[in-house]
Each structure stands twice: as C-alpha cells, then as structure tokens.
Structure 1
Amino acid sequence: MSTPEAFGADWLALREPFDAAARESSSLLVARLRTLRPGPGPWRVMDLGCGTGANWRWLAPRLGGEQHWLALDHDAALLSAWPLSAGAPVPLDEPWHWRGVRFDATVLRREAELAHGLQALPWDAVQLVTASALLDLAGAEWLDELMRRATDARATLFFALNVDGGHDWTPTVADDAWIGELFAAHQGRDKGLGPALGARAVPWLKQALRERGYRVALGRSDWHVRREDQAMKIAMIEGFARAAIEQEPTQAPLIRAWRARRMRKLDWGSLRVGHLDLLAWPAP
C-alpha cells in the first residue's frame, strides 16, 4: 500500500455544504439507522477517516440521544482543525462535549494509521462504524478486513458519499466522456488503502456484507453543483484535468484543451456527481 492520500482542509471545507445537501436525499437511511439503536445507553460510534469532522457534525444531531464518538484519522493537522470551541482549543485525545436539541455527543479525536492498524481498533466496544467519502478510496483487501472485524463485532455500518462513477456535465462539451474515463481510471490507483475500488466499492461491499448475513440498504446522495457554485466548479474542472493528465500524460495538450472548453462554460454550466450511501446491520 502507498502513503495515504492527503486532503487539505480547504478542500474539505469547500465540499462540506455539498455533502450536507446531498445527504438529505438519503434521509430515509438515517431514519432506519435510528431504529437500530442497540439500547438505552450511549451509542458508541467509530468514525473512520474523519478529516475535520464533517461526518460527525452532520450525523450526530440526526442520530439523537447520548453518543460517544471515537474519531480517527491519519492526519493530525486535520484532526487539530476541527472547529470545536470558541474558547481554548481542545487537545487531541481529550474528549469534547456537544449538546443540542435531543442529542448529547462526546467526541474523542485520535490519530490512527488505518491502512495497517485496523486490528488495533476497539472493535469490542463499537456499535456503529461510520465514514464519509471513504469506501471508494479503499481496495478489496482492506475493505474485506474492515467488514470482517465490524461484522464479527455485530456492529452496524453507515458509509456516506461514496462515488458511483456518474458525473454529468450540463451542457456537454467535446471529450467529457473521455476525461471521465481517465478520471475513473485514476480513481483506481492506490490511495493508501490498496488499489482503490472506486465506483465498484459499494456494490462489492454490499455483496460481501450480505454473504456475512447482514441486511443492506442503499440511498442516493448525489452532488448537484449549480451554475452559481463557481468555486466548486473550478475545483472539479481542475481536479478532473489534473487526474486525467496524471493518468495519460502524453495527452496533456488535449486534456488542457478540454479544461479550457469547460472553463468557458463556467458561468452557466452545472454538474451532477453520483454518490451512494450504504447502511448495513446484522440480521436478527
């Protein structure tokens, strides 16, 4: 496995409102998740690859009740960037409390190397394993170990915002499909968790979980980047072009020409990026 892919805090901040809006589309999964609460005590949650805490900020109020979160990421800088308090910063490995309407959540942020350290995680104390935008970065071997450890613990799993391979530009321009193919091929590179499954991750995990006796439900959580979302459109165009050039450097002039065509449509174009949420729980 290679070094885990790094995502900057600026990119995570840019995408968070798009993530939050997209996740409302799969709100029925969250309603189903609430019914799976294991008992009257605190819900013990482990958040994998938590970044700056967007998954926790979105999900904790919707879970409701008392919750104890263990939030893990390999990047200490992202963990330290959580906007936890208006006062003194909360050190890592020190719990922080967040109370709101009908929920009371405690979170403990901890630096952890997930690529090779799944066996060291506290599986015997976990009831819900969650992550956002993680599955498509992982390979089959890593996902298999994650699935086996979570299902052995009889934990519920909720993974949001996993790419499904769809990205629809409006209006279209020449080479959109070709750039999309290069981008999809680039997504299959090793991001630190083995050769990534990309858009195949959700179908792969769905089948594997069912073979382990779990029930699985899916929901759509597509991004809708609209004409007024200039900063995100620029970031997506640049990201597609950069990945395509890395994948096929000999075609860089043609890829840059595609980028220029896309930029000329910036003021009135839009983009849909397909995502899936996955909820899985042990059958009675």
Structure 2
Amino acid sequence: MSFSTEWLALREPFDRAAREGSALDLLPLTEGRPGSSSNNDGGDALTPYRVLDLGCGTGANLRALAPRLGGTQRWHLVDHDARLLAALPRVMTEWATTHRLKMPTPTSADSLLCIEGPQQQWRVELSWQRADLVHELDTLPFDGCDLVSAAALLDLVSASWLAALLTKAHEVRAALLFALTVDGRIDWQPVVAGDTQVTQLFTAHQLRDKGFGGPALGVNAVPRAVERLVALGYRCVQAGSDWELAPDSGARLLQQMIDGLADAALEQDPAARDLVLGWRLRRLALAAHSKLRVGHAELLALPLASEK
C-alpha cells in the first residue's frame, strides 16, 4: 500500500499536533541514557541511540520524535516506496532549513544526512533503504537497535506480520513505539444521516488485506499488539493521539477524509452506493461548518529492565 508525498505532507501537521497533545510519556526511552537531556552523569554524549523506523515515508516520524528523544541518535529509515525515499533528502533539508537546524557532516560512514538541534540538544545521523517489509523483514538491521518505531502503520499490517516483527524486536530486546494507529473512533459535529453506516463500512474496509500477507488488523491492531507484547515480557503504555479537524485549519484534510471515507465505503459495499453518495453530498455541503475527531492510539512497549 502506497501513499503520495502530497498526502503525507497534508496530514503531517495534524499528526504532529495529535502526538504533541498526547499524554504518552517518552521519558522511559531516554532516562539515564548517555547523551540524553535527562542524564546528567557525564556519560559519553556521543553514544548513539539507535532507531529503526519502518514505513518511514519522507521521515515524518523522525521529525516528530528526534527533538523529544534528545541526545545523539542514529536512525535507519525503511520504506518500500522508492518515490518517497527519493523525496526524503529534500523534505528533511527543507525541515532543517525552516527550523534553523544545522546539517553538519555525518561522522558515521553509513549515514547519509546529519541534523543537529538548537544548542546541540540533539543530533541525528540518518540512513535509509528501500525494502519490502513483508518479504525482507529478516534482512533489516535489528541488531543493536534500541527502538523500533513506526507511525500510521500498525493498523495496516496482518497478525502474522505483526507477530514476526515483535519476535525480531524481542530477540534484540528493543523497545517499540507505534504511533497514530486508528482505533475506530470517527466523530462528526454536526451529525448527519449516514455517518454511522459509512463509518461501519470504512471500519470493515480497514480489515481488508493491505499488502502485509493477510487481513489487516485495523482497529484491533493495538489490542492485538499489547496481547502479544505482554506475552513476550514487555511493559506496555498507551495514550490517545486524536486528529482534531476544523474548517479554519483543516479544510483540505476534511475534504480528503470525506472523499476517502466514501471511496472506501463504496469499495466495501457497492450496493450501498445511494446511501454513501448521499452522505458524501451532505458532508461536503456542511464541510465549512463541521468538525471531525479521528481517534488514534500511541503504544510504547518497553522490555523489562532485568532483560534489557
């Protein structure tokens, strides 16, 4: 399943706002780590915190997390879409320029870019590769990873693929962070006829095979991941990260959501054409006066201290 650079750029500000407003505490990832802002023991600030980011797109997860993690980081980004990876250097450079971040020369031979935060509060060296996450998972560099991360991915994957990923992370005792996983809540204000039916069809569509070797987990993704992670000996922490869309700030995304929900509902049940198209017309007519909350969940899984 692929996404356009335009769609990823459109949603990124809303993803960032949702994650910044989340109650998820990332301190357990950084506390006591050499080079982290929470560590004052004089440890080696150059010791990198290694992150493997799956389904990276153009690097939005790095842009959201790196300033929060702090310290010295080394990210390896993976995606199957060559177009998104080709755009990644440009997008990362534009982000660094906009936020007046430095781009020093990488010190690692494996790194392709380096970005440094204000007052050297954090530093990231990043590399990336094209890989099929379904068929090439075993080839990815899990060894030495401190964190395996993914944003807006978990609800797309199958149960078997998730089990394989969690097993790989467990083998190297890496923490995991899954961001922006849909949880099934789609709340419109004001309500119009057809909201419930279209949401039900959309939710059913999310359970179809998205290219990960079986039916997608959809809204069941976080509960299934937690169940498996607890069995593997992880401590799991969850929090919400909902999109809040309103006409003044999210008009384009609101329209995209209306069209996307309608398209998925029609694909799920072509016989519901009249219902879905009628709903779409009503929603578009009210778009300038509507608000939408889309429920997302954050999941942080930490290996037990005795095993890390």
Same fold (TM over 0.5): yes
Matches within 5 A, 1:1-284: 5-35=1-31, 37=33, 40=44, 41-82=47-88, 83-85=91-93, 95-101=112-118, 102-193=121-212, 194-228=214-248, 229-284=250-305
- TM-score w.r.t. the length of structure 1 is 0.93
- Give yes or no for contact 1:29–1:218 (8 Å, CA) kept in 2: no
- For the residue of structure 1 that corresponds to 2:281, the secondary structure is helix
Moved more, 23-32 or 150-159: 23-32
Q: 1:94 to 1:8 in 2, by over 3 A?
A: same
Provide the aligned C-alpha RMSD in A: 1.7
Which deviations, in whole Å up to 9, do the C-alpha atoms of 1:175-218 show, x marking residues without a partner? 10000000001001111112100010001001110111110000
Q: 1:11 to 1:132 in 2, by over 3 A?
A: same
Where does residue 106 of structure 2 map in the other structure? none
Shift of 1:85: 2.8
- Give yes or no for contact 1:47–1:129 (8 Å, CA) kept in 2: yes
Identify which of structures 1 and 2 has the higher relative contact order when contacts are C-alpha pairs closer than 8 Å and 6+ apart.
1
Q: Which residue identity does 2:140 align to in structure 1? A: L
Which deviations, in whole Å up to 9, do the C-alpha atoms of 1:140-178 show, x marking residues without a partner? 000000001101110010111000000000000001000
In structure 2, runs of 5+ residues without a counterpart are: 36-43, 98-109
Shift of 1:37: 4.0
Q: Which residue identity does 1:260 align to in structure 2? A: L
- For the residues of structure 2 that align with 1:118 and 1:38, how far apart are their CA atoms? 29
Q: 1:51 to 1:36 in 2, by over 3 A?
A: farther
- Give yes or no for contact 1:25–1:219 (8 Å, CA) kept in 2: no
- For the residues of structure 2 that align with 1:211 and 1:84, how far apart are their CA atoms? 38
Count of residues in Structure 1 that have an aligned counterpart in Structure 2:
276
Shift of 1:38: 7.6
Regions of 4+ moved over 6 Å? none
Q: 1:38 to 1:212 in 2, by over 3 A?
A: farther
Q: Which residue identity does 1:267 align to in structure 2? A: A
- For the residues of structure 2 that align with 1:135 and 1:28, how far apart are their CA atoms? 17
- Give yes or no for contact 2:24–2:237 (8 Å, CA) kept in 1: no
- Give yes or no for contact 1:162–1:277 (8 Å, CA) kept in 2: yes
- For the residues of structure 1 that align with 2:34 and 2:162, how far apart are their CA atoms? 24
Shift of 1:81: 1.0
Q: 1:243 to 1:28 in 2, by over 3 A?
A: closer
Moved more, 26-35 or 156-165: 26-35
Shift of 1:33: 2.5
Shift of 1:253: 2.1
Q: Which residue identity does 1:190 align to in structure 2? A: D
Which deviations, in whole Å up to 9, do the C-alpha atoms of 1:36-87 show, x marking residues without a partner? 7488510011000000110011101111010110000000110111213369
Q: Which residue identity does 2:257 align to in structure 1? A: M
Shift of 1:115: 1.0
- For the residues of structure 2 that align with 1:282 and 1:36, how far apart are their CA atoms? 15
Which deviations, in whole Å up to 9, do the C-alpha atoms of 1:83-109 show, x marking residues without a partner? 13369xxxxx86100001300100101
Q: Which residue identity does 2:80 align to in structure 1? A: H
- TM-score w.r.t. the length of structure 2 is 0.86
- Give yes or no for contact 1:33–1:279 (8 Å, CA) kept in 2: no
- For the residues of structure 1 that align with 2:196 and 2:187, how far apart are their CA atoms? 9
Query: What is the identity percentage for the equivalent residue pairs of Structure 1 and Structure 2?
Result: 48
- Give yes or no for contact 2:59–2:92 (8 Å, CA) kept in 1: no
